[in-house]
Amino acid sequence: MSKPALRISQLTSALARLEEVLAQPKNSFMRDSAIQRFEFTADLAWKVLQSVLEEKFGIRANAPKTAARLAHENGLIADLPSWLSMIDDRNLTSHSYDEDIAEKIYAQLPRYAALTQILVKALG
């Protein structure tokens, strides 16, 4: 299995787990679980972009925002502003914990899951 194919498989699994928790009734435990699963999913999403860019286009992208911008330039993703927002929110979750930020990010998770689903379908 190629590196991009392996990463896409991992992303598909992580996305399913994120969607699973988002389907549950919200409480603080489910919110925090969803945010943790979002972190895994977002990390894998940019690494998928990185792998596909390198294998398909010969382009190296060593940072999430660089990967998103290059993926957009090469037609892999359409909604660059939402991808950049997802990366920013992922960075917020890993550097500090704040209830207000957690609530704001949780509210965006269905949108980020849908964005990732588009990528998985496009590459699948």
Chain mean pLDDT for the chain: 95
Residue in the structure block whose two tokens are 């992580």:
14
How far is 99 from 16, CA to CA, in rounded Å?
Answer: 25
Domains of the chain: 3-123 (1.20.120.330)
Please give the pLDDT value at position 28: 93
How far is 7 from 5, CA to CA, in rounded Å?
Answer: 5
**pLDDT digits over 96-110, tens only?**
678 899 999 999 999
More confident residue, 105 or 94: 105
